[in-house]
Amino acid sequence: MTRHLPLSHLPLALLVVLALLPLGLSDPYLLNALIQTGIFTIGAMSLNLLLGYTGQLSLGHIAFFGIGAYASALTALGFDVELLFGWRVVHEPWPPLAGFVLAVLIAGATGYLVGRLSFRVRGAYFVIVTISFAEVVRLVALNWVELTQGPLALTGIPAMRLGLPGLGEMIFRTKVQNYYLVLAVAALSYLVVARFTRSRFGRAMRGLKENEALALSVGVNATRTLTIAATASAAMAGAAGSLYAHYFRIVDPDVFLFSTTVTMVIMVVSGGKGTLIGPVVGGLIFGLLPVALRPVLAPEAQWIVYGAVLILILFLMPRGIVPKLEALAARRPRAAAAQKPVEAESRP
Amino acid sequence: MSVSDTAPILCVDHVMVRFGGLTAIADLHFDVRPGEILSLIGPNGAGKTTAFNVITGFLKPTQGEVRFKGVPLGGLQPHSITRLGLARTFQRTSVFPDDTVLDNVLIGLHREGGGRLFDAVFNLKRERAAERAAHENARAILDLVGLSGRAQEKAGALSYGEQRLVGVALALATRPSMLLLDEPVSGMNASETQVFVDLLRTIRARGVTILLVEHDMPMVMEVSDRIVVLNYGRLIAEGPPDAIRADPAVIEAYLGKGAAAAVAQAAMQEAAHA
C-alpha cells in the first residue's frame, strides 16, 4: 500500500540512526540513559504484544522482567540454598549466555502459568492477578535472603559474554558494547513481534480483541491464544531483564517496582498500542525525557513536565503517536492525488 | 448429502432454556437433514436467536441437548463446536471492523495452513507457503460471496449488506458442513437479497447444510426446503413452505402480534402472489 510508504521506512531509519549514534556520542551519561531506555523499550514491546494486540492489560508485567533479571543473575553467580527438609540445592556459576537463555525460558514459563490461571476469566480479573503476582514475586525476592540476598542485592553479576566460533569470546564490558547488544536484542524483539503478529496467531489475537464472540464463532480458542501471547510476552520481558542484570551488574528487589510497569504502559499507550513501532517511539520519548529535563529543571518540576507531556500526547493523540502519524500520512497523499490525478495511487 | 438422508446432521432434542423466571424456549425439538435448507421463523421474541445461541454453545440449555453429527454438544465451548463443522453468523456484529475484508477472512482461516509459531517467528519456507495458501483460500471465498472488489477495504466501513456477506465469508472460512445464518438479509434491498438467495443455493450445492433464521418471508418461502415455526418458545408448525403458508396456527401467531404481525402478513401475502 503506497500510502503507508513514509511510515513504513520509520523502523529502518530509526535503526540506522540508533546504530550510528555512538559514533558521535561519547558522553557516558547519555549512553547509559540510552541503554537503560533500550532495555525498558524491549519491555514495552513485550507488553505491547499483550496489551496492544490482545487488549489484555498486564499491570504486573515487571514481574516477568524481574524474574528474567534474577534468573540470569543467579545462573551466572551460582547459589547454594537449603529447601524444605534439609534438601540442599547447589548451583555452580554458568556462563552469562546460559543465564540469558534461562531467563527467557523461566520468564516464559511463568507467563504461561499466569496466563493459564487467569485467562479463563479475562479483563479486570487478569489485571488484578498480574498485579498480585508481581507483588508476591517482589516479596519473595525481598525475603528469600539465602537465594537473593534480599535488600542487600545480588552484586558482582558478570558482564554478558558471547562466544563466537572462530572469533573468540566477546565480553560486553563497555557502555558502547552494551549499547549495541541492547540495540541488537531490541531489533530482534521487534522482528519477533512483527512476525508473530502477522502470523495466523496474530490474526487470532486481533480477532479476539476486536470482536470476541465472532472470533470464538470462527473457532478461535480464546484461552489458548491468550496464553500463547502471554508466554511470548513474558519471555521477551525476561530477555530484557537479563540484559538489565548483566549491564548494571546488580539486581535488588526494587527491580519489581510497580512504577516501572506504569512506565512501560505509558511507553506503549503514548506510542500507539497495537502498532509495531509505537512502543519504540513511546519508549524513546519517555525513556529520554527525564534525561533531557534534568539539566534544565528542578527535580519537582521535571516530573510535572513529564506528566504534562504525557497528558498532552494523550489529549491530542488519544490512540497514540504512531496511529496519529499513520492517519496524517494516509490523508496527505490522497489530497495530493486529488490535485494531480495522473499520480493517483494505484488501487486494486 | 444423499448418503444418509434419514440420519439428521443436527438434532435439537427437547431443549428448554430458562433465564431466571423467564422461559425463552419451552420445549424445542427438531431435526435438520443433511443438505437441506431449513428455516426457523416466528414472531419477535419467539426464541429464535436463543435457539441459535444454544446450538452454537454460547448458551447452555436448562434441559435437553443438541447433537451435531451424533455428537452431544453439551459442555463444548463455541470454538470447539465450530471445529466440528458447525459455523454461524451473527445478527448484528458480523465483522472485525478494524481489519480489511481480506484480513477478516484470514482471521477466519487462522486454523488453516498448519504453520506453527516457531515457523512464523523464523519465517520458514513452510510458513510462507502456508501464508500463500491462506491468501489464495481467502481470495476464493471472497470470490464466492462476491466481495473480491472490496478485499482491501476496512470491514467496518462497508455497507450493512456487505458486512453481512463478510460474516458469511468468515463462517465459510471455517470449512463448515453446516451453516447457521441469523437474519442474513435484514438491511438488504430486494436485489441484494436475490443475490444472497443465489449465494445460499451455491453454498448448499457445495454440500453445506443451512439453518436460517429470517424475517423476510418471501425470501424464506423461496429458499427453504422446510420451515420450523416457533412461538413463545414452542414449536407450533413444521413442514414445507406451502404447508406453512396455509397453516392456521402460523397465521394466527403472526396475526395476533399487532403492527409487527401486519407487516409479516403483508409479506406473506406478497409471497403468495409471487
In terms of C-beta density within 10 A (0-12 exposed, 13-18 middle, 19 or more buried), how is residue B263 classed?
Answer: middle
pLDDT value for B200: 93
| Chain B CB within 8 Å of residue A1 CB | yes
For residue A200, the distance in angstroms to the closest alpha carbon of chain B comes to 5
Cα A319 to Cα A266, A271, A274, A326, A329: the distances in Å are 12, 8, 10, 11, 15
pLDDT value for B5: 52
Residue A346, pLDDT above cutoff 50: no
pLDDT value for B264: 58
pLDDT tens digits for A181-196? 999 999 999 999 998 8
pLDDT value for B262: 58
Cα A179 to Cα A113, A137, A276, A277: the distances in Å are 32, 29, 21, 19
Q: Do A217 and B78 touch (CB under 8 A)?
A: yes
Cβ atoms of A149 and A78 closer than 8 Å: no
| Closest residue of chain A to B123, computed from CA coordinates | A195
What is the residue-averaged pLDDT of chain A? 87
Q: How far apart are CA A118 and CA B36, in angstroms?
A: 42
pLDDT value for A343: 39
| Chain A CB within 8 Å of residue B103 CB | yes
Of A198, A218, A232, the CB nearest to B82: A218
Choice between B91 and A344, residue whose per-residue pLDDT is larger = B91
Of B97, B117, B173, the CB nearest to A218: B173
pLDDT tens digits for A80-104? 888 877 788 888 888 888 999 999 9
Of B87, B117, B122, the CB nearest to A201: B117
pLDDT tens digits for A108-138? 999 999 998 887 777 788 888 899 999 999 9
Cα A163 to Cα A93, A94, A172, A189, A236: the distances in Å are 16, 13, 11, 21, 22
The residues near B199 (Cβ < 8 Å, ≥ 6 apart) are B144, B145, B146, B165, B168
Cβ atoms of B29 and B8 closer than 8 Å: no
Cβ atoms of A63 and A130 closer than 8 Å: yes
The residues near A36 (Cβ < 8 Å, ≥ 6 apart) are A287
Q: How far apart are CA B15 and CA B10, in angstroms?
A: 13
Q: Do B79 and A216 touch (CB under 8 A)?
A: yes
Distance of CA A6 to the CA centre of its chain: 25
Domain ranges of chain B: 1-90+178-184+210-261
Provide the 8-state DSSP code for B100: B
The residues near A333 (Cβ < 8 Å, ≥ 6 apart) are A2, A3, A345
| Chain B CB within 8 Å of residue A52 CB | no
Cβ atoms of A234 and A118 closer than 8 Å: no
Phi and psi at A108, nearest 5°, equal -60, -40
Q: Do B96 and A210 touch (CB under 8 A)?
A: yes
pLDDT value for B87: 92
Residue A167, pLDDT above cutoff 80: no
Q: Which residues of A are less than 8 Å from B94 in CB distance?
A: 214
pLDDT value for B263: 53
| Chain B CB within 8 Å of residue A214 CB | yes
Q: CB contacts < 8 Å between A and B, how many?
A: 106
Q: Which residues of B are less than 8 Å from A198 in CB distance?
A: 120
Q: At A348, which helix (H) or strand (E)?
A: none
Residue A64, pLDDT above cutoff 60: yes
Letter for the amino acid at A200? R
Reported pTM? 0.84
Cα B252 to Cα A87, B47, B48, B237, B244: the distances in Å are 80, 17, 18, 12, 12
Match 519508549 to its residue by C-alpha cell. Answer: A283
Q: Which residues of B are less than 8 Å from A220 in CB distance?
A: 79, 107, 110
Distance of CA A72 to the CA centre of its chain: 17
CATH fold of the domain at B1-90+178-184+210-261: Rossmann fold (3.40.50)
Q: How far apart are CA A141 and CA A262, in angstroms?
A: 20
One digit per residue, the tens of pLDDT, for chain B of length 274 reads 444 456 899 999 989 998 888 888 888 999 999 999 999 988 877 888 889 899 999 999 999 999 999 899 988 989 999 999 999 998 877 899 989 999 999 998 887 755 567 777 777 777 788 888 889 999 999 999 999 999 899 998 998 888 999 999 999 999 999 999 998 888 788 888 999 999 999 999 999 999 999 888 889 999 999 999 988 888 888 999 988 888 878 877 776 655 445 555 666 676 667 5
Residue A345, pLDDT above cutoff 50: no
How large is the average pLDDT for residues A299-320?
91
Q: CA triplet A152, A157, A160: central angle to 5 degrees?
A: 155
pLDDT value for B181: 93
Closest C-alpha among B218, B81, B99 to residue B158:
B99
**Bridge pairing between strands B22-32 and B178-182:** unpaired
Q: How far apart are CA B200 and CA B99, in angstroms?
A: 25
